[in-house]
Each structure stands twice: as C-alpha cells, then as structure tokens.
Amino acid sequence: MMEIDAIRTFFLWCTILNAGLLIFTAAVCACAKDWVYARHSTFFPLIRESFDTAIYYFIGAMKIIVLMFNLVPYLALLIAGY
C-alpha cells in the first residue's frame, strides 16, 4: 500500500509543478509577447503570425499533456481509493 501512496504523491507533485510551468509559460507569452518573439526569432526565422500560431499550439499541447499524463492518473488513483 505504501507504493501506491508514493505513486499518488508523485502524480500530485507532477501535476502541481507542470501546471505551474504551464501557467508561467502562458503568462510570459501573454505579457511579454514581443520579448518572446524577439528571443525566438534569432533562432527560427518565422513571421509573427506563424510564431503566434506555434506558441498557441504549443501551450494547448502542453495543457493536454499535463491533464492526460499528470492529473488524470492522480484522479484515477484518488477515485479508486488507493
């Protein structure tokens, strides 16, 4: 039973840390959009509209990954009563 508690705690902290990273990334991209574009455009020659679309898709994919691989397993262990 201790291993299940450790796994549940692991998924809880993964959810908290990854959700925090997601919120931080979204906030930086929303508040400092020009700065983020300037930093990335030195590495990748993209027009602004393409960059905005790529960031939008990245944040969306990150949200789905955090939900599916962190939050859902944690909730499943919680619901199962382990």
Tell me how many degrees the CA angle 34-36-41 measures, rounded to the nearest 5.
90
Does 40 fall in a domain? yes
Q: State the pTM of this model.
A: 0.85
Q: Is residue 31, in this structure, part of any structural domain at all?
A: yes
Contacts 24+ apart (CB under 8 A), 23-28: 25/59, 25/62, 26/59
Tell me, what's the pLDDT at 81? 83
Q: How far is CA 77 from CA 5, 11, 20, 82, in A?
A: 9, 9, 21, 6
Q: Is residue 10 part of a domain?
A: no
* Residue bearing the bigger pLDDT, 63 or 81: 63
Evaluate whether residue 61 is within a structural domain. yes
Question: Which residue matches tokens 């994919």?
Answer: 61
pLDDT in tens, 31-72: 999 999 999 999 989 999 999 999 999 999 999 999 999 999
Identify residue 14 by its one-letter amino acid code: C
The total number of structural domains in the chain stands at: 1
pLDDT band at residue 1 under the 50/70/90 scheme:
low
